[in-house]
A = this chain, B = another copy of it.
Amino acid sequence: MAKMNLLQAINSALISAMTQDERVMVFGEDVGHFGGVFRATSNLQEKFGKARCFNTPLTEQGIMGFANGLASQGSVAIAEIQFADYIFPAFDQIVNETAKWRYRSGGQFSVGTLTIRTPYGGGIAGGHYHSQSPEAYFAHTPGMKIVVPRNPYQAKGLLLASIRDDNPVLFMEPKRLYRASVGEVPEDDYELPLGKAEIVKSGSDITLLAWGAQMEIMEKAAEMAEAKGVSCEVIDLRSILPWDVETVATSVMKTGRLLISHEAPLTGGFASEIAATIQKHCFLYLESPIERVCGLDTPYPLAHEKEYMPDHLKVFEGIMRSVNF
């Protein structure tokens, strides 16, 4: 075990994957010699050569097109999109191509060996073009898997599993935690399961559900609520697609209440899918409406970032609204 921050954990996972399988290649804007603008790919070019870790020209649609082709050939493609806000030029390549490749060919061809890494989320004074959380845009796309880690340990294990999973995975990294989140991480290779939520803390009065950087907020809010005598069950969804309905539904049947939180705007955010599914599965168990504590239905603001964020206070208020319904 070693103490690592989230960036180091990502870097360690990439080194593991590249060491173990020489078909693994890492590419994107500035990921080569420079090691990426956040330095997640530091030293990869030095270790594995310029052919396996390289800069691409500045074109996200090109990166994803290239990645699709490379993965369909059988190579293991790990493409970086520098900020999740800049993934949209690649939307067609991801939604129409990546996600439908295996399906349209009847399984003859696939891009299952593709992983897309991208930093997402706010809290870094980045405004509307360096703070977005676009998971819901992709979650409406059958064929994709979407994974979001909450800390370094999760990051390494989930990234290795994503790279090796035989489906294309969009791996979203909470950039606010890149250096802020530090923890023990095994130096060895290990994987954590995709498609499985994790109960981070058991409780009996309400289920709190989130993913990625938002997990910190949930835990903080849960502490506040516990101080008021509300017992919270805190769940990290980890995989947005396919998502673990069973773990969530089982928890809600126990607690009778659910609060979901994400930074992305409320309308059409992934919390809506969860709420829609859980109100059906747990109709007779729900003691209050499912709460969504999310970003406002505006672009992500700069000067008003603090006000916009679904912070622990807003989550706490949501918890109290729910238990006092």
Contact = CB atoms under 8 A, between A and B. Distances in A.
A291 B280 CA distance: 8
Interface in A125-147: 128-129, 136-137, 139-143
A111 interface: no
Given A267-B241, A279-B290, A129 B272 contact: no
Secondary structure at chain A's binding surface: helix, strand, loop or mixed?
helix
A22 interface: no
24 contacts: A61-B89, A88-B95, A89-B91, A89-B92, A91-B91, A91-B92, A99-B299, A100-B299, A103-B128, A136-B140, A139-B268, A141-B265, A141-B268, A142-B265, A142-B267, A143-B299, A241-B267, A275-B275, A275-B276, A276-B290, A279-B279, A280-B290, A283-B286, A283-B289
B100 A96 contact: no
A291 B279 CA distance: 10
Interface of A: 61, 85, 88-89, 91-92, 95-96, 99-100, 103-104, 128-129, 136-137, 139-143, 241, 264-265, 267-273, 275-277, 279-280, 283, 286, 288-292, 296-299, 325
A146 B163 CA distance: 37
A168 to B, nearest CB: 13
Contacts of A292: 276, 280
Nearest to A275: B276
B129 A269 contact: no
A96 B103 contact: no
A122 to B, nearest CB: 15
A138 B71 CA distance: 28
A265 B96 contact: no
Given A85-B96, A283-B325, 14 more contacts: A96-B129, A139-B267, A140-B267, A140-B269, A141-B268, A142-B265, A142-B267, A268-B268, A272-B273, A272-B275, A279-B289, A279-B290, A280-B291, A283-B288
Contact of A103 (B103, B142, B298): B298
A273 B268 contact: yes
